[in-house]
Amino acid sequence: NVCMSSFEDITKAIRKLANPEKGVFLQRFFKTGKGQYGEGDVFLGLTVPQSRIIAKQFEKLSLTSVTKLLRSKAHEDRLIALIILTMQYKKGTEAEKETMYELYLANTEYINNWDLVDLSAEYIVGEHLLQAKKGAEPHAEPRRRHSGEHGESGISIVSTHTRDSGKVVAFQNDN
């Protein structure tokens, strides 16, 4: 497992596996046309297994580089950034997890498609809220997002269903 830590190295590794033909297909599949939910997304044509391999190779990428990757126009860059963030969150200290949770919430505009939400919201936002609910982090304040944006509304839905010892936990509004 090679630990490459620069933004330039990871973007080079991603671009090396780009498949323009597959990228064109994915842009249609993910509805990236004008007025569609994925409007403006650019696809490089990597598969999810390829993306996971790259994420594992760059698992220790700095949060600065992860954030830069997350803000990319390329969908696969954002996918890989979220896989890395999810891996780092699982292994992080409470302070690191708080930082990653805040980073996630500050960048929801880039988590704009169902696949990005599905692979990350439960494991970062949902887990964070579960721990806060258990009292592990009394300073962590669960936030409610009210937005018509596909990503943010999806994050709200997916993150409120997380697992606690193998059981699905649904958060409810106590107000």
- Is the pLDDT at 165 greater than 60? The verdict is no
Q: How is residue 33 annotated by DSSP?
A: S
Q: How far is CA 74 from CA 79, 84, 144, 146, in A?
A: 9, 16, 28, 26
| Placement of tokens 């990503």 in the chain | 151
The average pLDDT across 54-63 equals 97
Closest CA to 123 of 146, 78, 77, 92: 92
CA distance 50 to 35: 29
- Is the pLDDT at 148 greater than 80? The verdict is no
Q: What is the mean pLDDT of the chain?
A: 80
Between 50 and 148, the higher pLDDT residue: 50
- Is residue 141 a contact partner of residue 109, using CB atoms and an 8 Å limit? no
- Is the pLDDT at 143 greater than 60? The verdict is no
- Is the pLDDT at 153 greater than 70? The verdict is no
Between 149 and 102, the higher pLDDT residue: 102
Q: Rounded to two decimals, what is the model's pTM?
A: 0.77
| Residue 27: band (very low, low, confident or very high) from pLDDT cuts 50, 70, 90 | confident
Angle between helices 75-91 and 7-16 (to 10 degrees): 130
Between 133 and 15, the higher pLDDT residue: 15
- Is the pLDDT at 54 greater than 50? The verdict is yes
Q: Looking at residue 147, what is its pLDDT?
A: 36
Between 155 and 107, the higher pLDDT residue: 107
pLDDT tens-digit readout, 84-109: 999 999 999 999 999 999 999 999 99
CA distance 62 to 81: 11
The average pLDDT across 13-20 equals 95
